[in-house]
Amino acid sequence: MAYTLWYWAEIQGRGEFVRLPMEAAGIAYVDAARDRGSDALIADMKTHPTRRPFAPPYLDTGGQVIAQVANILQWLGAHHDIAPDDEAGRTWLNEVQLTVTDFVAEVHQVHHPVGVGAYYEDQKAEAARISTEFREERMPKFLGWFSDAVEGDWLLGDRWSYGDTSIFQLVEGLRYMFPRRMKTLEADHPRLVAVRDRVAALPGIAAYLKSDRRIAFNQDGIFRHYPELDAE
Amino acid sequence: MAYTLWYWAEIQGRGEFVRLPMEAAGIAYVDAARDRGSDALIADMKTHPTRRPFAPPYLDTGGQVIAQVANILQWLGAHHDIAPDDEAGRTWLNEVQLTVTDFVAEVHQVHHPVGVGAYYEDQKAEAARISTEFREERMPKFLGWFSDAVEGDWLLGDRWSYGDTSIFQLVEGLRYMFPRRMKTLEADHPRLVAVRDRVAALPGIAAYLKSDRRIAFNQDGIFRHYPELDAE
């Protein structure tokens, strides 16, 4: 039976980190809100009397409703061949994914520094201020750590895992968000770019990227392109 | 053999979410930087040629160095009796802990909205702005969700887990950070306060809180008390 993924219908957002490994591995899923609209997601969130998700994305496996990206990916890794079998490898992969989570939270803070639920247009000056630190200090620190984490052709050596699809999404997202800055930084991180390219060439991902299931980056997602915040 | 915990010597910070369940369960550990100073932590972080932590806290188990609070707790839960045995319970507990992680990140954003590495004193106006949303919208939303997650005397029903020690630390931290706001909100969340009280009464926690191993809350940690940001 196909899993049911619930996430906002209009953006890649955090849901994309779940969609990508399922597409790459050929794991069957229904993207419920893309079929039925984000209003259906809002309605569905109210139907869980216990253990309800705090926020999307969440995955209904048929037996359990699971939220939090790193948690969903870990569960998928235990049931499908997208994570290592050994405990040490699984624990390290989870550590990498949780560092992706931290980085994504900082990406969001760049355009929402003083109001998580407010508009970017109402916090542009503050966003400009934090974007400088983000570009100059946080991006090199995170990208350097992820580069060092690459152990071979893939993050964990000789087979792809959900960590690699997350690296792909980070690189793609940052290219959209800050193309000038990424052009500078990519020269320092060839191993990350190589992982990005290998993921893009996986048959499941190549087909997905050409399909209408891949939503285009836009100004409502996590990675947003505000040219005034970018610089070399 | 005792585990080795590495975290900043001067603050509770994120390390406290790891210390508490180890203290409650009587899991032997050495708090390395408290014995040897934070300079020793900075030196130790450079000694990991592969799979190095992005940031403290991290736990050296003797077999592996594990970073990210939720990851450390999950590993401890698989090896000690501080998490459920069944997959569904472990997955839900991890979901709760990752929501704690998200909340803690927003707590940090309150006093560092426009500069993760800058001083609070240089972003006081911005902090005042986001603190209003945090107090009025984010705190009720998170605390309400955690309240709904409590399934009995404890988060998971009839036995304590590392989720309960995390709830304890959230309540304690928010009481220190925003005492006026918490006084208002605690009336709406008696189940959270009851969990906090039960954790405080666990023999291992009661002994820990009286010991000099429990660092006092202070203005360098995650939870900081700036009276100008608090309100009823």
Q: Check pLDDT > 90 for residue A65.
A: yes
State how far the alpha carbon of A117 is from the alpha carbons of A49, A70, A108, A134, B115, in Å: 25, 23, 11, 20, 19
pLDDT at A1: 80
Q: Check pLDDT > 90 for residue A76.
A: yes
Nearest to B130 among A101, A115, A133 (CB): A115
pLDDT per position as a tens digit, A137-181: 999 999 999 999 999 999 999 999 999 999 999 999 999 999 999
Nearest to B64 among A88, A118, A133 (CB): A88
Q: Check pLDDT > 90 for residue A49.
A: no
Q: Which residues of B touch A68 (CB under 8 A)?
A: 94-95, 98-99
Largest CA distance in chain B: 50
Categorize the per-residue pLDDT at B26 as very low, low, confident or very high, splitting at 50, 70 and 90.
very high
Answer yes or no: do B137 and A117 touch at CB < 8 A: yes
Largest CA distance in chain A: 50
Nearest to A95 among B71, B88, B126 (CB): B71
Categorize the per-residue pLDDT at B186 as very low, low, confident or very high, splitting at 50, 70 and 90.
very high
The distance of B144 to chain A (nearest Cα, Å) reads 10
- Say whether A64 sits in a helix, a strand or coil: coil
Burial of B211 from C-beta contacts in 10 A (0-12 / 13-18 / 19+): exposed
Separation CA A185–CA A149 (nearest Å)? 17
Answer yes or no: do B95 and A70 touch at CB < 8 A: no
Categorize the per-residue pLDDT at A47 as very low, low, confident or very high, splitting at 50, 70 and 90.
very high
Q: Check pLDDT > 90 for residue A131.
A: yes
User: CB count, 10 Å around CB of B134?
Assistant: 23
Answer yes or no: do A68 and B92 touch at CB < 8 A: no
Query: How much of chain B, in percent, has pLDDT values that exceed 70?
Result: 100
Answer yes or no: do B133 and A126 touch at CB < 8 A: no
Q: Which residues of B touch A130 (CB under 8 A)?
A: 113-116
Categorize the per-residue pLDDT at B205 as very low, low, confident or very high, splitting at 50, 70 and 90.
very high
State how far the alpha carbon of A47 is from the alpha carbons of A43, A52, A53, A66, in Å: 7, 8, 10, 14
Q: Check pLDDT > 90 for residue A220.
A: yes
Closest residue by Cα to residue B20 from B169, B194, B197 = B169
pLDDT per position as a tens digit, B27-69: 999 999 999 999 999 999 999 989 999 999 999 999 899 999 9
Separation CA B26–CA A127 (nearest Å)? 45
The distance of B169 to chain A (nearest Cα, Å) reads 19
Categorize the per-residue pLDDT at B155 as very low, low, confident or very high, splitting at 50, 70 and 90.
very high
The DSSP secondary-structure symbol of B98 reads H
pLDDT at A128: 96
State how far the alpha carbon of B19 is from the alpha carbons of A186, A199, B13, B61, B117, in Å: 39, 39, 10, 14, 25
Q: Check pLDDT > 90 for residue B117.
A: no
- Calculate the average pLDDT of chain B: 97
Separation CA B228–CA B209 (nearest Å)? 28
Q: Does B166 touch chain A (CB under 8 A)?
A: no
pLDDT at B64: 95
Q: Check pLDDT > 90 for residue B104.
A: yes
User: CB count, 10 Å around CB of A193?
Assistant: 16
Answer yes or no: do B67 and A129 touch at CB < 8 A: no
Q: Check pLDDT > 90 for residue B1.
A: no
Domains and CATH numbers, chain A: 87-201 (1.20.1050.10)
Q: How far is CA A106 from the centre of its chain?
A: 13
